[in-house]
């Protein structure tokens, strides 16, 4: 399983006796951006550019990553509120993209609001 990070691969070759054999134990990663986005980041349009370090890190690890804005989800999926629309979006692509991880990025003020709503 290649991490696609030269330093990591070099260290792995030094530490793993049968490194080349081990590469065949894992299925090839999905091409970044192709259907098979195992990692989905849901955030606002205003914050979409700020998630690039996380997106880049996951792509370097061989994960397919898709960033969906709440504005796009809101206008393209049905539901009573934004949370319901996000659930519909994720259910729509869960199988075909093989989604394994979802990150919900939101402004700090929103986190404070959520904490207050939960009584924290």
Tell me, yes or no, whether 38 and 17 share the same domain: no
Tell me, yes or no, whether 25 and 55 share the same domain: no
* pLDDT of residue 63 exceeding 60: yes
Tell me, yes or no, whether 3 and 38 share the same domain: no
pLDDT (mean) for 32-44? 73
Tell me, yes or no, whether 93 and 81 share the same domain: yes
Distances (CA, A) of 65 to 55, 80, 87, 101, 111: 6, 27, 18, 10, 23
Locus of tokens 């260290």: 11
Tell me, yes or no, whether 96 and 85 share the same domain: yes
CA atoms within 13 A on the CB side of 19: 12
Tell me, yes or no, whether 6 and 50 share the same domain: no
* pLDDT of residue 72 exceeding 90: yes
How does the average pLDDT of the chain come out, rounded? Answer: 76
Total domains, the chain: 2
Query: 7 lies in which domain range?
Result: 1-29
CA atoms within 13 A on the CB side of 56: 6
pLDDT (mean) for 42-66? 87
Tell me, yes or no, whether 23 and 40 share the same domain: no
**When comparing pLDDT for 18 and 43, which is higher?**
43
Tell me, yes or no, whether 25 and 42 share the same domain: no
pLDDT at 73: 92
Say if residues 52 and 58 touch (Cβ distance below 8 Å). Answer: no
**When comparing pLDDT for 2 and 96, which is higher?**
96
Cα separation, 38 vs 113, in Å, equals 29
Tell me, yes or no, whether 3 and 14 share the same domain: yes
**When comparing pLDDT for 100 and 29, which is higher?**
100
Q: Where are the alpha helices (DSSP H) in the chain?
A: 6-15, 19-23, 52-60, 70-76, 82-93, 108-117
**When comparing pLDDT for 13 and 108, which is higher?**
13
């Amino acid at each position: 399983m290649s991490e696609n990070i030269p330093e990591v691969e070099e260290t792995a070759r030094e530490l793993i006796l049968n490194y080349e054999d081990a590469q065949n134990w894992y299925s090839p990663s999905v091409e970044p951006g192709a259907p098979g986005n195992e990692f989905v980041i849901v955030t606002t349009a205003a914050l979409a550019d700020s998630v690039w370090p996380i997106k880049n890190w996951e792509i370097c690890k061989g994960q397919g990553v898709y960033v969906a804005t709440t504005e796009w989800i809101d206008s393209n999926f049905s539901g009573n509120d934004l949370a319901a629309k996000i659930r519909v979006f994720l259910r729509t692509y869960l199988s075909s993209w093989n989604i394994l991880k979802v990150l919900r990025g939101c402004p700090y003020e929103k986190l404070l609001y959520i904490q207050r709503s939960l009584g924290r």
